Amino acid sequence: MAVGSGELGTLHPVKGISMAAVSAGIKKPGRLDCVVFSLGDEATVAGVFTTNAFCAAPVTVCKNHLAQAAPRYFVINTGNANAGTGKQGIDNALQVCLEVAELKQLPVAAILPFSTGVIGEQLPVTKIIDAIPHALDNLVEDNWLECARGIMTTDTRPKAASVRVDIGGKPVTITGIAKGAGMIKPNMATMLGYVFTDAAIDKADLQQYLDKSVNASFNRITVDSDTSTNDCCMLAASGASGIVVGADDGRFQAALDKVFIALAQGIVRDAEGATKFITVRVEGGAVPEECLSLAYTVAESPLVKTALFASDPNWGRILAAVGRAGIQNLDIGKVAIYLGDVCIVEAGAVAPGYTEAAGQAVMEKEEITIRIVLGRGDCNDTVWTCDLSHDYVTINAEYRT
């Protein structure tokens, strides 16, 4: 029931990066559920991770390994989150890393583990270890679509994006994949996301690029206001193109943002049960923080989201959400609210020219923008979300059945 066509466009291979997706039979026999990425010896890696206090065992191991050594392999499994699993969960994640390390004669810290799926169940280590040799034997440079499918859980379609940007007269490639459909309010990164470039970038600079792109994309989406225990987003630069990208390169940052925003919006478009893609835009705020807070208040309101699902122009729900957002000294006389190009509220009441028919015409659309103008300053921000449907409740009520 995803929104939009889901067309991914051309997914360019990234020099120095190879990948494989195989079936370990973690939850369903034959389903792609184990993905391995191989990074060259010159690669640098940056990451951002969930702020959930109950972070999953692989998140803990991944952060520790990233601080100790240069990563050479990512190992990702679906079907099991390895979260809420205590010391045994840490040991299980390390066993997976150790298997790759021994096969490739690398330090165990050079392997980064990632998991997604059901919380509270121990990782089926034997199944994953049995699948790893097959994955390592089938690494190829250009298998993005299969790998994007291999990290899906309740996703209905893969998420991937790719661009090429000219840096100093030479092409630099950026390609990435992500997964996520529910338990979505990243609050730092995405559910699972992996973006790669063939540029050569210093690790500290790479981290800055990642932080900026994440803040412009994954930190601007919400499906259900829940932050996962397993969120990780990694950015790797192989250096294989020989093109050096220094700090604060605007061309590279813009291209990277484009990939990240495409992935983030892809998650919202494929949100559990979603039938509509919603942009909430707040303009004229006094400070950036109030714009973002207000945008999230509207985007996460169950009453607003269910009205959107019903295509009901019940503008009072939006107005009420704006009023309860906690903006200090809000002058409602200066506030205007729009559905698309239709002004529904101004000067604290329904807009004089508003008609139900005009509001209904906007609400019938698959993609809708809610724009809120505060008249307090020059700050703006945007959040992307979806509607709340019967299917969202069904999917999550039956998640473990």
Which of 198, 210, 166, 183 has the alpha carbon at shortest distance from 66?
A: 210
Amino acid identity, residue 273?
G
Q: Are 185 and 222 in contact (CB under 8 A)?
A: yes
Residue with tokens 């998640």: 399
Catalytic residue among 190, 275, 279, 385: 190
Inter-CA distances, 9 with 13, 159, 168, 229, 258, Å = 13, 11, 25, 31, 13
- The secondary element (H helix, E strand) that includes residue 363 is helix 356-363
Q: Are 150 and 76 in contact (CB under 8 A)?
A: yes
Other CB atoms within 10 Å distance of the CB of residue 53 = 6
Alpha helices, DSSP H, located in 151-277: 203-216, 250-269
Q: Is 124 helix (H, G, I), strand (E, B) or coil?
A: coil
> What's the gap between Cα 237 and its chain centre?
19
Other CB atoms within 10 Å distance of the CB of residue 353 = 10
Other CB atoms within 10 Å distance of the CB of residue 208 = 16
Q: Is 372 helix (H, G, I), strand (E, B) or coil?
A: strand
237, β-bridge pairs: 44, 197
Long-range contacts of 65-68, Cβ-Cβ distance < 8 Å, separation of 24 or more: 65/97, 65/108, 65/109, 65/110, 65/111, 65/112, 66/112, 68/107, 68/109
* Residue 85 is a catalytic residue: no
Q: Which residues contact 22 (CB under 8 A, 6 or more apart)?
A: 32, 34, 35, 36, 131, 134, 135, 138, 150
Q: Catalytic positions, please? A: 190
